[in-house]
Amino acid sequence: MEIACFIEAADRHCQQQGVKLTALRRQVLELVLGYPGVVKAYQVLADLQKQRGIAAPPTVYRALDFLVAAGLLHKVDALNGYIVCHHVGCNHEGLILVCGDCGRVEELDATPVLDVLRQQAGGAGFAISQQNLMLTGRCKECAV
């Protein structure tokens, strides 16, 4: 999905959720959309400072936290970064596939897999928190 279409879908999604995609949040989302894989907060901060001049780290972190809570980004804790969720409006948990060779990232809906794991864990009296799963390996282009 191209950036303009994604931003329009994100704006509609936020309106449906009763939250606002402010100009700053939109700008941060556009910056994240400009990266092909995982982006770190300090990269977004540096880009924002180039565009706006002064921007403080808490400003970026608050915008990123909002975008995660709105379901527009996923936080990839293992890589200390963020990726775009291309399933706007779909409440799901992501299966994040990261190529160890080229860094390409792909996100799939992990809900069916996690439902099975939740059922098994529940049988052992364990409740799994909502989360995203990350798997590393090689993408199809690098595996050739």
pLDDT tens, the chain, 144 aa long: 688 899 999 999 999 999 999 999 999 999 999 988 889 999 999 999 999 888 899 999 999 999 999 989 988 888 889 998 887 877 778 888 988 888 888 888 888 999 999 999 999 999 998 888 889 999 999 998
Inter-residue contact 107 to 83 (CB < 8 Å): yes
Question: What residue ranges of the chain are covered by domains with CATH 1.10.10.10?
Answer: 3-84
β-strand partners of 94: 109
Is the overall model pTM greater than 0.95, yes or no? no
Question: Of 86, 89, 101, nearest to 139 (Cα)?
Answer: 101
Give me the CATH topology for the region 94-137.
Dna Ligase; domain 1 (3.30.1490)
- CATH 3.30.1490.190 spans which residues of the chain? 94-137
100 close to 139: Cβ distance less than 8 angstroms = no
In the numeric block, which tokens belong to residue 10?
A: 């994100």
CATH number of 3-84: 1.10.10.10
